[in-house]
Chains A and B, each alone.
Chain A
Amino acid sequence: MDWELLLAIFPQVVMDGLVLGFMYALIALGYTMVYGVLELINFAHSEIFMVGGFVGVEILLTMQATGWLDTFNPFVILIFIILMGMAVSGVLAVVVERVAYRPLRGAPRLIPLISAIGVSFFLQDLVRLGESLWRNAFYLTYPSFAAFNTRIEIAETIDFSVKSVIVVVASLAMLFALQFLVTRTKLGKAIRAVAEDQPTASLMGVNVNRIISLTFLIGGAMGGAAGVLFGVQYNTINPFTGFIPGIKAFTAAVLGGIGNIPGAMVGGLVLGLLEAFAASYLSLLTGGAFGAEYKDIFAFSILIVILIFRPRGLLGEVVRERT
């Protein structure tokens, strides 16, 4: 075995894992927050994420067509598309809740889940339809920025691209903002109260519907931001992009203990790192017998094993059984 090679790529793998992990963490927040307040696996969240990516690419392509792309500072543009992605995805998440989940509140648990799966599929084809009619193409590529693709060399074998750093920094900023919002503000207190005990929160004068909408807005916005960052990082996006990252992010949420906000962040990072290591080392360690293709199986296996043996997740939020 080539230990030197294993060692040499180690920092690179860690960085890849972090980028992936922060992306998962951002998406996982949407799953975990909605599960916290509604005990619903918001299956459509992966499409909320995907829509964010499309908002980003649409804006960039439009700017490219008008020539504005070169007139503005790329970082300003980046911040602008992240904000727009957050806004559109957040609002979409709220609309989805209104239309497809709220009428089903109080129904047996699987009913809104089935509806959520329906929304997920519907949104995939809706975006596909829109882009087919609008651009006659639905596999879209992010215009690249020279500034983001520059690589920062740290050592001879270690260099990071600027966009990887952007993903990490932007994710960290948003995660801290969210943590502040949830733990330090009145709004956050209301969200936690609704998650803890809806009827009581309602008796205490919390407007439960408003808080639920707000939860979808925040979770959706985080997903939208992740979508834009995903596009910037990996360049291409299509209507079905959301599925795999969605499942992975849900895995991350479960890993960290679903309903638990810091858990989603930890779960995302752990999963991202595990996956990056699996992708890079599996092939090396098995002499090429099992390659990076198995990283998906790896993630699914983690999901299955955690759900079966430790459904509370790593950080161990106890999910109450609804009877």
Chain B
Amino acid sequence: MTDVPSPSGPTTGAVDVAPGLQRWRSHPVLLNVLVAAALFGSAILVWVVPRSIIAFMAFQASLLVIYLLPLDVRTKLAWAAVALGVLMPMLGTHNGYYMEVAIQVGIFVALALGLNIVVGLAGLLDLGYVAFYAVGAYLWAIFGSPQAAKFLPIEGVFPLPAPWFFAFLILGLAVGAITGILLGLPVLRLRGDYLAIVTLGFGEVVRVLANNLDKPWNITNGPKGITPISRPPLFFEPALSALGIDAPPSVLYPLLFYFMVLGIAAVVIVINRRLEGSHVGRAWEAIREDEVAAQAMGVPLVRMKLLAFAIGASFAGVMGVIFSAKQLFISPESFTFLESIGVLAMVILGGMGSIPGAIIGASAVTILNLQVLKGLSLWLNELRNSGLTVLGYNLADLPSQFEPAKYERMIFGMILILMMIYRPAGIFPARRRKLETYHRGEEPAA
């Protein structure tokens, strides 16, 4: 009955991530110096050569170093705060593309964590996850742009004023959750593989609807998509001016989105951790392990599955609202089956049911897509334009249709196949909690 492979990690606590590094635990000063060197060294490198992808990847790698070294949790969080709260915004302002990468990573981390609840914890393979993201995105796109006026007979209200954006974050959460429940109600009794296909069908239905609901009423504006979508207000601008900092909106908007995504991703991580370490998370894992036994132990199957669907979908709904505001333009093209599989590949690469896995998987795949493949494409283009001849082959003859940046499918496909065959529990498999990490309340009097 078990539908998804289960994490098989040894029973280790939260701190000791990389067992091989454990013997350095007794040298905290050395470790901290190492972290500082990696972090600031790579940050300076990025600052000096802002166009070097390798420099930025070194910076990203230093974040991984913080996670892997055997430091205590508070120190790690402090370093992460320095890196993500101070260094990253500086580097991102220096080179706007890196800010874009960081925002995208944040969005996908939240999506991967949402899908991780559904697939990783509850063991329900959802192949239409991007539909919930689309629902959130269209929600704000329609009302945060003149689009709503095209089918609602109200004059002069749309687009809603920018501050409404924040209300729509909550609304996106709610609508995502409701959509999750509406989809879940009829399908959650299905067997695992049928559920997967039905969710795929649902995802496609949402996309086709978005593509065609420009008539009889123009709700989604069809394949042309919706634009311009309002951005949230730069509410902190007056405060910055008072401090004597005058930055143009082109700098402030990315910062706003960056911190918003960072904040929401952090909240999502905390919620994930708390759910995982509660009766809810245990019930989900029990369902994944053995539905029949879980139900026989008093776990209400349908309710718990619906809860997983709703929570996963609500994260996607919120992120959709942010995505549409950030992009200013959305169309059905952004919400294809490929996107759903992309998020699935992130979860599977990191390790189903593993929170660090989902975070690292999402970062790795996004960076691979946005930096490595794009970088290769740019490099190939340069080669083409260089007019060089290598071994009698004129590089200008490289086929123009060959662009590594467009080969996401191959990357996702290889991740899925190779992980299933060689490492189904992922690169950072979920680890079991030890008893000492549980709240045991006040000990009973002896």
Contacts and interface: CB of A to CB of B under 8 A. Distances in A.
The short answer to whether A and B are in direct contact, CB under 8 Å, is yes
Interface of A: 39-41, 99-100, 103-104, 107-115, 117-126, 128-129, 132-133, 136-138, 243, 247, 250, 288-291, 293-294, 296-297, 300-301, 303-304, 307-308, 311, 321, 323
Contacts of A307: 187, 190, 194, 197-198
B205 A301 contact: yes
B399 A308 contact: no
Given A129-B410, A307-B198, A111 B424 contact: yes
14 contacts: A100-B420, A113-B193, A114-B348, A118-B412, A122-B409, A125-B409, A133-B399, A133-B402, A136-B401, A288-B215, A293-B211, A303-B201, A304-B198, A308-B198
B85 to A, nearest CB: 36
Contact of A110 (B190, B193, B212): B193
Interface in B412-436: 412-418, 420-421, 424
Q: Which 3 A-B pairs have the closest CB atoms?
A: A118-B416, A122-B413, A121-B413
Contact of B401 (A117, A137, A250): A137
Contacts of B194: 307, 311
A253 to B, nearest CB: 11
Contacts of A136: 399-402
Nearest to B338: A121
Contacts of A126: 410
Contacts of B413: 117-125
B204 interface: yes
B186 interface: yes
Contact of B186 (A107, A250, A296, A308): A308
B148 interface: no
Looking at chain A's contact residues, the main secondary structure is helix
Interface stretch (B1-9, B134-142, B247-255, B388-396): B1-9
B117 to A, nearest CB: 16
Contacts of A123: 413
B337 interface: yes
Contacts of B10: none
A137 B399 CA distance: 9
A104 B125 CA distance: 17
Nearest to A319: B191
B341 interface: yes
Nearest to A100: B417
Contacts of B410: 121-122, 124-126, 129
Contacts of B125: 110, 113-114
B200 interface: yes
B124 to A, nearest CB: 9
A112 B408 CA distance: 21
B3 A109 contact: yes
Nearest to A322: B1
A99 B186 CA distance: 36
Given A117-B127, A122-B410, A297-B208, 16 more contacts: A104-B421, A108-B5, A110-B4, A110-B196, A114-B348, A114-B416, A123-B413, A126-B410, A291-B212, A293-B212, A296-B208, A300-B204, A300-B205, A301-B201, A307-B194, A321-B191
A13 B203 CA distance: 29
Contacts of A304: 186-187, 198, 201-202
A297 B197 contact: no
A112 B420 contact: yes
B375 interface: no
Interface in B299-328: none
Contacts of B191: 109, 311, 321
Contacts of B204: 247, 296, 300
B46 to A, nearest CB: 31
A271 B208 CA distance: 19
Contacts of B338: 121
A132 B404 CA distance: 11
Contact of B414 (A122, A247, A288, A301): A122
Contacts of A321: 191
Contacts of A133: 399, 402
A164 B414 CA distance: 38
Contact of A308 (B187, B212, B337, B401): B187
Given A104-B420, A304-B201, A308-B187, A293 B401 contact: no
A147 B125 CA distance: 48
A112 B409 CA distance: 18
A114 B209 CA distance: 26
Contacts of B186: 304, 308
Interface string B237-280: 00000000000000000000000000000000000000000000
A108 B4 contact: yes
Interface string B168-208: 00000000000000000011011111101110111011001
Nearest to B1: A323
Contacts of B414: 118, 122
A41 B344 CA distance: 17
Contacts of A293: 208, 211-212
A190 B204 CA distance: 38
B420 A114 contact: yes
A41 B341 contact: no
B193 A103 contact: no
Contacts of A118: 412-418, 420
A297 B209 contact: yes
Contact of B196 (A107, A113, A125): A113
B192 A300 contact: no
A189 to B, nearest CB: 27
Contacts of A120: 413
Contacts of A323: 1
B24 interface: no
B40 interface: no
B402 A297 contact: no
Contacts of B379: none
